Chains A and B, each alone.
Chain A
Amino acid sequence: MARAGWLALALAAAALPLATANTYYIYLGASVGLLVIVTAGLNVLAGFTGQTSLGHAGFYAIGAYAAALSVTRLRLPMAVAVLLAISVTALVGAAVAGAALRVSGPYLAMVTIAFGIIVEGVLVEWVSVTGGPGGIFNIPKLSLARHYWVIAAVAAIALWMTANLRRSAWGRAFVAVKDSEVAAESLGLSAYYVRIAAFTVSAAFAGAAGALFAFLNGYISPDSFTLQTSILFLLVLLFGGLGQIAGPVVGSLVLVLLPELLTRIADYRLILYGTLLLASIYWLPAGVVGALRRGRRPTAAAGANSAGPSSGPFSPGGPAPSATGAALTVERVSVAFGGVAALSEVSLEVPAHRITALIGPNGAGKTTLLNVLSGYYAPDAGHIALAGRPIAGRPPHLIARAGVARTFQTAQLFGELSAGGNVAVGVAGPRLGGLLGALCGTPAARRRERELAAGARDLLAGLDLTSVADAPADSLAAGLRRRVEIARALATRPRLLLLDEPAAGLTPAEIASLDGQLARLRDAGGPTLVLVEHHMDLVMALSDHITVLDGGRVIARGDPAAVQRDPAVIEAYLGAAPAAAS
């Protein structure tokens, strides 16, 4: 149905110059097309990646001036000028992103406003090149109808590219960084570089539109590239539907055509825009397209799932089992927060291909230790070595790439993705493939996509999660979220898997199933496991070694039986009464 809608839209757009000879309508159609191109690109940044730019008129301007100068000064053909304009804007975009994306959210919006103002200022002041406030005249033009078709074709390609991108490993990485930066980094993605890629793509799209704009008008001046233009771009996207592929089309149509239909109140255009923005945020927080799609979400059975252990093969992946020995060595690691010692000289040897449990009272520092091991906190002192290589103090995404995966106490799934999509992010890890290939949906990119999807399916099947593979992660109950998160962590084929309370909130039957799955993982030579857990049944049944923390110090270590009898452990953790309270 969606396909038929797109086809009808394409036919209608292509037929416009045949249906009317009125140049005014064709010009309006071209304006809609330009706006679609810019906002399709902005959708990659704001919709997929969740970062707002209020400076895209700057990139639009750079594209327009680059194209105009290439043709008027360098006498290059138009097509070459457009490609050159796209390249220049992409380069500038990457450079700006590299500097600006040290910050994100509202700070990024401020930085991009400044960028837009700087571009506008340069256009006005650098008279010898840009023509100053008067701009550039006599830019060659195609016939209006032909140029309209070029713009419509580019707009269609732009939309098609964003749809390709959204389905690719890159698209999932964008959403992952938006939904949970912490989790994305734990899978080896650098949030910084992923955002730079999104920003660069969006700048290149704006550059393409700018170049086509110059050839549409035959005249450009700084007046077309103000902060108001940037705001219009964002408004189109918010109104149409942030993150929706069709959002730019709906938003552009309404926001170009509506003021034209209401020319009598042209003076009140700004008031109209403002009201529209307020109204759309109030009544249509997901935009027009988002509101239309809401009614017919896939009715995935997000509920019950058999808790029985899997009968299918469960290949843990993982690197070839290396020589046994210490997979992880922690030596005298200390961490303090504002003078409060969270960990004091903690030492720990985690033997390879075994299950080591970390137990202790709440506040003992167990999660802090996991955060240090996975790079979220840098230790104040001490050494950490993974298979002999030091990892202490390195950022989370590099530690993840070295082979450390983890889950979180409150499962950090990427809510906008399906369960399968979440796992696919882990399967891909930092290996996202070529960005251009993803945009164009090349056969190689599609093949890789099929491999990633198949890998995700296998992992979900191994944890009895096949029935929820297509369910949106947001719709899953807490216990299922935890299991999807474990599948996602395993997808990175880790050497070392850190599990933070994997059994919390599970029913006894589900815990028994988890117990079986973890044991099989170990017995199949899978990753070394470090388990933080309070369900003592599970810990005692599963662990090869137990380390007990209290107040940031190791108070006991040994095999389960010895630890269970240790008076210090009984006093601090298990309690003096019989441990089995049920």
Chain B
Amino acid sequence: MEGLRIAGLAAGYGAIRVLDDVALEVRAGELVALIGGNGAGKTTLLKTVAGVRPPWAGRVLLDDQEIGGHPSWWVARRGLTLVPEGRGVFGDQTVRDNLLLGALARRGRDHTAAAVTADLDKALALFPALGERLSHPAGSLSGGQQQMLAVARGLMARPRVLLLDEPSLGLAPLLVREIFAALGRLRAEGLTILLVEQLASQALALADRAYVLENGRITLSGAAAEIRANPAVMHAYLGRVEGAGRAQPS
């Protein structure tokens, strides 16, 4: 199968098991959303798939090739890119250098100067605000701009599968809409994306399919529209704050 396939995945920290028997698929060209509460294990799942954390058990297949248990740089070279939560941009380097570093894991034909420049232009077209700050150190960008830079840097790798960990975190409403619009364009171009997002309703509106992760287990999966209409999901993840301080999510 083309894309990402995870089966029986377990992972954790020390004696704490965070993920238990997780199975999940992202087929080529799909945008799949992963939603769940804080501490459910979403970030751990992405980190384990990307090779940042070691799996305790299970398989992770990228285009039918086992990538589970391999180090992150090896996984990145196979075409799987993680845009981590908390951005992780290189603060002392310029925005341009940050973007060019994103292309470091590419190989072969993709790694020509012309191809890299073309992708740089494409990334800047997606996030025009970065174009104005190309020669500034990334550390001088605001939090939201750093978030855009992290996503753009991930795209510079020309990933076959892109993992995004809360791309909307800390973004102003206008930028949230911008970043979701950018994700929509990427999806239309056929990029395979696994999206972890706390803004569940926006993520589900965009996704083809979705999984719900609770306490380290997948408790629900299906077409995004179905998940969105599921009463339990609406209650837990799509609720809206109403009234000043009197919302009772019981």
Instruction: Select B16's contact among A300, A515, A535, beta carbons within 8 Å.
Output: A300
Given A363-B144, A477-B43, verify A534-B38 contact (CB < 8 Å). Answer: no
Q: Are A508 and B175 also in contact (CB < 8 A) when A297-B15, A542-B245 are?
A: no
CB distance from A419 to the nearest CB of B (A): 12
Task: Report A165-221 residues with CB < 8 Å from chain B CB.
Answer: none
Q: A504-B170, A507-B198 are in contact. Are A409 and B38 (CB under 8 A)?
A: no
**Complex interface: chain B residues within 8 A of A513 (CB):** 249
Nearest neighbor of A361 in chain B, beta-carbon distance = B172
Give the distance in Å from the alpha carbon of A163 to the alpha carbon of B169 in the complex: 41
The distance in angstroms between the C-alpha atoms of A367 and B141, with both chains bound, is 12
Contact B174 A308 (CB under 8 A): no
Interface string of B227-250 (1 = CB under 8 A from A): 000000000111111111111111
Contact: B37 with A501, CB < 8 Å? no
Q: Which of B38, B240, B245, B247 contacts A582 (CB 8 A)?
A: B240
- In the complex, which residues 261-302 of chain A have their Cβ closer than 8 Å to any Cβ of chain B? 294-300, 302
Cα–Cα, bound, A213→B13 (Å): 44
Is there a chain B Cβ closer than 8 Å to A475's Cβ? yes
Chain B interface residue count, Cβ-Cβ cutoff 8 angstroms: 54
Residue of B14, B43, B169 touching A294 (CB-CB under 8 A): B14
Kindly state the separation between the CA atoms of A507 and B38 in the bound complex, as whole angstroms: 7
Do residues B236 and A308 form an inter-chain contact, with CB atoms below 8 A? Answer: no
| Contact (Cβ within 8 A) B15 A296 | yes
- Closest chain-B Cβ to A339's Cβ sits at a distance in Å of 12
Q: Which of A521-552 contact B (CB under 8 A)?
A: 523, 534-538, 541-542
Contact among B172, B216, B244 with A519 in the assembled complex (CB-CB below 8 Å): B244
- A542: chain B residues at CB < 8 Å are 244-245
| Other A-B pairs beyond A297-B14, A477-B43, A542-B245, 18, CB < 8 Å | A300-B16, A305-B38, A305-B39, A307-B249, A361-B175, A362-B147, A362-B175, A363-B142, A409-B170, A478-B43, A479-B37, A504-B169, A505-B198, A507-B198, A507-B237, A534-B173, A537-B241, A582-B238
Name 28 A/B residue pairs within 8 A (Cβ), A-sorted. Answer: A297-B16, A300-B16, A303-B216, A304-B214, A305-B39, A362-B142, A362-B145, A363-B144, A367-B142, A367-B143, A475-B13, A478-B38, A480-B39, A501-B143, A512-B249, A516-B246, A519-B246, A535-B241, A537-B241, A538-B241, A541-B243, A541-B247, A573-B172, A573-B174, A575-B177, A581-B176, A582-B202, A582-B240
| Residue positions of A touching B, CB distance < 8 A | 294-300, 302-305, 307-309, 337-338, 340, 359-364, 367, 409-410, 475-480, 501, 504-513, 515-516, 518-520, 523, 534-538, 541-542, 572-575, 577, 579, 581-582
The 5 closest A-B pairs by CB, nearest first: A519-B245, A362-B144, A479-B38, A363-B142, A477-B39
